[in-house]
Amino acid sequence: MSNRILCDFRSDTLTTPCAGMRAAMADAEVGDDVYGEDPTVLRLQDQLAERLGKDAALFFASGTQSNLAGMLAHCGRGEEIIVGAPYHTYVYEAAGASVLGGIALYPVPVADGRHITPDTIRAAVKEDDNHHAISRLLACEHTVSGRVIPLETIRQSTDTARAHGLNCHLDGARFFNAVVALDIDPAALAAPFDTVSICLSKGLGTPVGSVLVGNRDLIAKAHRLRKMLGGGMRQAGVLAAAGIYALAHNIGRLAEDHARAHDLASFLSNHNAGEVVQDTNMVFLRGAPDDMLDDKMRRCGIEIGGPYDIRRLVLHKDIDDSALSAAKKAFAEHL
């Protein structure tokens, strides 16, 4: 068999813009967004603010930049963010809030691989004492490695944070996967948070872009910060048009990714592939019996995440039923 990639499970960031999305980008009405004159960017921002029930939104080049501007909008130098130890904002964003904002990041354990419990928050908040950093923000994430968190559980965390005077930020890179899996109104899921960062370039399938959503004052601060971070873009409507297309066409279909992930997880369990954990569009495989599995799969045109002791398989819009069947056939031969 050739080395052509039939099926790339490494990430939902690998999704490519479809013909419809490319046409929307080509047709986008544009202006200079640094002047606030790009109608397509303004439309994308308005649409997301409305869907999430917030005042305002701001388009960013990446989720890292959107989270960073959000965290810098909430916190000043000498202040502290309580963040889940495995979260992207702590592990994978080069400590930008500390480097560029003088903000301390305080990593805390998460329960059940996902949320920060009220007890953990109570123990993490520092007393108002001149020895300590000033606790300012709870940074949450949803989904966490594909896992969803019930709204009630989220509320318990954010209510506890607020009772201690903290603001709440959500890294909602895969917010709409959670919305679809929980079958909930996006505004209800966003309501516990002051700011929410959403990636358009993961399962929603755009080439570029994230949006920070929140109240007017915080988004105004984030706007200045975006400029400072070098994130002002000019005729960005070409990119925002992809986001508008994604909101119209690619949210409902996330349920297909979740169903295929479930199907793949059942298949791997039935073939004794190791310990399989799946939620929304992600499948994790722990202790797969064969170190050569990645190489064998690659020879069949199948890329899987890793190499780690935990392998990750992510379903997305560029893996359809026939690609999934081909992958299952290859797994069956090699497991």
Provide the minimum distance between the beta carbon of 83 and ligand PLP in the complex, in angstroms, as a whole number: 12
Beta partners for residue 210, in sequence order: 60, 199
d(CA 48, CA 66) in angstroms, rounded, equals 14
Candidate residues 15, 40, 45, 64; the one interacting with ligand PLP per rule CB under 6 A: 64
Comparing CB distances to ligand PLP, the nearer of 238 and 293 is: 238
**Under the criterion CB under 6 A, does residue 210 sit at the interface with ligand PLP?**
yes
**Is residue 15 involved in binding ligand PLP (CB under 6 A)?**
no
Instruction: Identify which of residues 33 and 141 has a Cβ nearer to ligand PLP in the complex.
Output: 141
Binding range to ligand PLP, per CB under 6 A, among 60-68, 263-271, 281-289, 293-301 = 60-68
Sign of torsion over alpha carbons 175, 176, 178, 182: positive
Of 201 and 250, which CB lies nearer to ligand PLP in the complex structure? 201
Burial classification of residue 86, based on how many CB atoms lie within 10 Å of its CB (0-12 exposed, 13-18 middle, 19 or more buried): middle
Going residue by residue from 102 to 141, which x/- string records binding to ligand PLP, judged by CB under 6 A? ---------------------------------------x
Length of the chain, please?
A: 335
Q: Binding residue for ligand PLP (CB under 6 A) from 38, 80, 171, 279?
A: 171
Is 62 a binding residue for ligand PLP by CB under 6 A? The answer is yes
Rounded alpha-carbon distances, angstroms, from residue 118 to 163, 262, 321 = 11, 31, 41
Q: In whole angstroms, how far apart are CA 185 and each of 52, 56, 190, 214, 309?
A: 8, 18, 9, 16, 36
Per rule CB under 6 A, is residue 33 in the interface with ligand PLP?
Answer: no
Q: How many residues bind ligand PLP (CB under 6 A)?
A: 10
Which of 88, 136, 147, 317: binder of ligand PLP (CB under 6 A)?
88
> E-assigned strands of 110-165?
134-141
Instruction: Tell me the residue number closest to ligand PLP, measured at CB.
Output: 63
| Token reading at 310 | 């935990």
Q: Which residues of 7-41 are buried (b: 16+ CB within 10 A; e: fewer)?
A: bbbebbebbebbeebeebbeebebbebeeeebebb
- The DSSP element (H or E) to which 8 belongs, if any, is strand 7-8
Is position 12 an interface residue for ligand PLP (rule: CB under 6 A)? no
Exactly one of 199, 264, 297, 315 binds ligand PLP (CB under 6 A); which one? 199
3-class SS of residue 253: coil
d(CA 159, CA 161): 5
Q: Which stretch binds ligand PLP (CB under 6 A): 56-64, 236-244, 276-284, 316-324?
A: 56-64
Contact with ligand PLP (CB under 6 A): which of 41, 82, 168, 173? 173
User: Where does this chain bind ligand PLP (CB under 6 A)?
Assistant: 62-64, 88, 141, 171, 173, 199, 201, 210
